[in-house]
Structure 1
Amino acid sequence: MTTNQGVRPGGRSARVQASVHKAVTELLDERERGELTVPMIAARAGVTPSTIYRRWGDLNELLGDVALQRIRPDGEPADTGSLKGDLLAWGIQYMEETASVPGRAVVLDLLAAGGDCSGRCLEIARAQFGILLERAVARGEPVPDKDLIVDRLVAPLVYRILFSNQQLEEGYVEVLVDGVLEGVAS
């Protein structure tokens, strides 16, 4: 249950969201995720628990919403001059950030929230790929479909990061990027 869609930016709603997100972030810096409770977050944020339940539904949805804010890119992806280079730079950065302890926690929070959070996470990645693909088209390069990038680059990275004890390296990302570009018309 996500009730924060369609909320107008600014005003009291934005202040509540900022306060609650700040409280979650501070509390996660101080203690384990499993120790967090809605009343604890509400007290830190200066709101009532019912405000959190009304807006986010439950703790998992709130943590997912905070995780989404943490994964939003600060800017456009790197422009290396080629689609292969751009995908490689994006993939390496994604691997490094997501394989970190905080990165894994963010992914797990998104998965626990499910539904709308997972969909919004996918849209963030697809928007980044849209930028890369627009650049490639402008350079006259052939491009794959965004979903192919998700299926052949993002999905294997997330799976390996979450379910393997293997330390991932840049060479693995290179293999995945080659798989994305394999068969794309020249």
Structure 2
Amino acid sequence: MILRPDVGALGDWIAQSSDQCLSVLEAIVDCYLERLPFVRGDEQARQLTNRFFDTLATPWTPRKAAVCSERNLDRRLQRVVEKIMQDPAWEFDLKELASYAGVSERNLYYLMKRETGITPYRFYQRARLTRVRERLVDCQCEVPHISWYAADEGFSHLGRFAAMYREHFGELPSETVQWRRNLLRRSVASAEELVET
């Protein structure tokens, strides 16, 4: 995400340059980034992002300090999130995850569902989908191999994988590859134009 602080209300925030204003701005961005991994799909991600930008678009007031009313993630859940995100080779095991968090399996399930709106397994799936997307976008090859990346992340049924990917990102994996390819072509064409001039 790229923010352009020189325009609109966000520019007014930056112009304030007070420690209070900047700390509130930091809290708003942190709150957004903390919630983002737990979105249930593309539509919810769009709503969350629109709320984030609406919050930034409103003029600075001292009341902004209360903008992120939701609690920080429970420390036990934070450990679970870190385990899933930082250990891509780990195979999902609810019992092991609950032990790692220091709670029972049932408590972990309900705690995560209550705090984030998704189950531990659903979060695990989303983390794997995100890793596939990162590989598709970051691939240095001409045509990324979607099926290879999906299989590396444990998705054995490509049809189900594509449906989950579309639900989460709002596009099929092939569409991600296509816009990436188009972006690379445009950047190569721009670079060639610069060399010619």
TM-score, normalization by structure 1: 0.41
Q: Greater Rg, structure 1 or structure 2? A: 2
TM-score, normalization by structure 2: 0.39
The structure with higher relative contact order (CA 8 Å, sep 6+) is 1
